A and B are shown apart, each in its own frame.
Chain A
Amino acid sequence: MPADTAAPAPTHPDGPADPVRLHVVTGKGGTGKTTVATALALALAREGRRVLLCEVEGRQGVARLLEVDDLPPRETEVAEGAGGGQVVALAVEPRSALLLYLDTFYRLGRAGAALEKVGAVDFITAVAPGLRDILLVGMVYEATRRRVDGTRGSGGTEPEADQAPDPAHGGAPAGGPVPWTYDAVVLDAPPTGRISAFLGIGDELATLAGGGPIAGQAASVARLLRSPATAVHLVSLLEDLPVQETVEAAAELAEAGLPLGLVVANRVLRPVPPVPADAEVAPALEEAGMAAGPAREVAAGVVDQGAARALAVTAQQRHREALAGLGQPVADLHQVPGALDLAGLYALADRLGEQLP
């Protein structure tokens, strides 16, 4: 099979071509994958660009974060990008993925219903998670390769088919390929513990797919994933377990030939200047109008808090060094004080946008 050049660079008129079109965001559970994936989609959606944000865990985290209604299993516009583009979101779920898959590739829409009747969808989810995963990833793959005129490859089984796009279609620069429906696709992926299996790059899928027709789909997806059109970003907190998992995941992904992107250090604490003694703070508070007694107490309290913060910052810096040691660019996202609301989310998107390569 000829090497798949996967996704050609986007042909968007406003701005330099970014080779990366599929951004996979993973990390240990709870480190901020959904937050970072959403912020990244907002950051990438600038100057009229359209970005698809895919959620696969069935948690509706994106909807909650963007303060919109639960996402249906079809592409839905959800937000303005940080720079005037458009973010479209999609909750990919196994049931509709399987039915669509059967219909698209086998013209088996009705058999799909029968499958559902005997619980085959649940069965696939339970016994063959590898198959469920390839269905989910297949949906993301399909969206990544779709063009504005509705053409696409066969969805993966014959990817070389769309290496010769028809230049006659409107909207493309003269002689260039038809533009992609989405300038970028961001995947809020499962946690690092399951990412290899999810992306189908472990041995697991090879065994599971064993020659079945699903293997063709898996192979096309694997080519896209291993191409420069993909970047896998790792989100980490600056704590023991997340850093440990990030380091392990980076090795595993690199081993599998997946292109690593950013390492995102999330919830970075704002450092404090060297903490003064109570004796310096109390008189300053008195000078600012506080009575002597309360000033002494408050001084003791804020000095303790400052010392604790200094300790925490030192620990974070040590963990950040471990992340930097991976050799990938590290992007820092600050801890948003108070509750993380839309304003805080857009602030994270701006901060991330500044640090994109």
Chain B
Amino acid sequence: MTAAAWALDALLDDPATRTLICCGSGGVGKTTTAAALAVRAAERGRRVVVLTVDPSRRLAQALGLVDGGTAEPRPVAGVSTGAGGSLHAAVLDARATLDALVDDALPPERAAQLKRNPVYGSVAGSFSGTQEYMAMERLGQLREAALSGEAPWELVVVDTPPSRSALDFIDAPARLGRFLDGRLVTLLRRPSTPRAGLAAVPAAVAGRVTSSITGGVAAVMDKVLGGALLRDVQALVQGLDVVFGGFQQRALTTSAALAAPGSAFVVVTAAEADALAEARFLLERLARDRLPTAALVVNRATVLAPGAAHLGAEEAGRLAAVLEAAGHDRAAALLRLHAELALTAAAEAAAVQGLLGDHDAAAVATAAARPVDVHDVVALREVAADLARS
């Protein structure tokens, strides 16, 4: 591989490192990597908080994130504090974060009204990107707490939501901006007589958009969506406008901070074509936006045992046949397994090589696939050790 090894410990030990963001496509091991980096940093003396998204139940248990109130960082037990560090962990709760934003931005009565809006639940639950926006919001909050010196942490490690696309997280503020500035939302934002629904809007915006288009659109939307829904959506847009206006400002500040020294992105991938293609996109995108990439982490890689690492798949297959013929069935089975693993390891190496191709800007680190899920501090330590070794 042409890429450089990752000087992980140097990064973690540098007090200037304040934010690490683990991103990548769904299921590749973002949460695992974030938690592993956090454990290692804490055990090397940093005061760390890790924000996890969708941790498995057993990992959540190991991090002490099981009963109620897990959205606020809590100290994690089982991490050695000998070097003067500490670890806090929290789970991202997008709904609670959004609710809190609404409560902050609006007078109590309007906030309550907005949260009762039938469309609010659907927006909070599945607005393409709510989780991303709220992850960004929480990151901003945790960083602010760190900077103010009030919080017991000074290094923030964040995991990112299992987005459809790994790019959603960094795109969130801009996308929200486009959405808020969109013509339709502008149109919906105008108050109109509630009974008439959107059909009443054209008169109000006649100067902005030619009323023939808008009128047609309004009529169609009214017809297709139904007036009740439109009125709810309109009320929601008017309410969220204030909330998201402030939020967007902060999100832009946060994303600017991510470009500054002290922040680094860790792109996590599996050694499989789809995940690698997504990782490549992400690496290119980060480079284009001048966001600092610390490393590409190839997680759950097939790693051969040291003694057998040089034995190729074909030779192992030949040996297995010889052993079978000689009646050494159990030894033969191990050689067959080795042939399978060697084939997979070679395919993975080729896929990673193919992905990196000319893109060798990022350091590459590999974490071996463990035989069982990573769900305790001991296993997290091992994953981090793999990453520091590569």
A residues bordering B, Cβ < 8 Å?
28-31, 57, 61, 64, 102, 106, 108, 111-112, 114-115, 117-120, 122-123, 125-131, 191, 194, 197, 204, 207-215, 239-241, 244, 270, 272-276, 280-281, 284-285, 287-290, 296-306, 308-309, 311-312, 315, 337-339
Contacts and interface: CB of A to CB of B under 8 A. Distances in A.
Contacts of A128: 119, 122, 225, 229, 233
Interface centre among B220, B221, B329, B331 (most CB of A within 10 A): B331
Given A114-B216, A209-B229, A212-B226, A126 B334 contact: no
B343 A118 contact: no
A163 B274 CA distance: 43
A125 B27 contact: no
A85 B51 CA distance: 50
Given A61-B274, A212-B226, A304-B305, A30 B347 contact: no
Contacts of B306: 301
A112 B220 CA distance: 8
Q: Is the interface of B mostly helix, strand, loop or mixed?
A: helix
B335 interface: yes
A64 B274 contact: yes
Contacts of A287: 326, 328
B330 A273 contact: yes
Interface in B168-192: 179, 182-185, 187
Interface stretch (B92-100, B104-112, B369-377): B369-377
Contacts of A119: 182-184
Given A29-B26, A119-B183, A280-B330, A111 B225 contact: no
B57 A275 contact: no
A53 B347 CA distance: 28
B307 interface: yes
Contacts of A117: 213, 217
B319 A285 contact: yes
Interface residues on B, range: 35 or more
A241 B53 CA distance: 13
A9 B176 CA distance: 47
B224 interface: yes
A288 B307 contact: no
A94 B223 CA distance: 18
Nearest to B25: A30
B122 A106 contact: no
A130 B122 contact: yes
B335 A212 contact: no
A121 B349 CA distance: 42
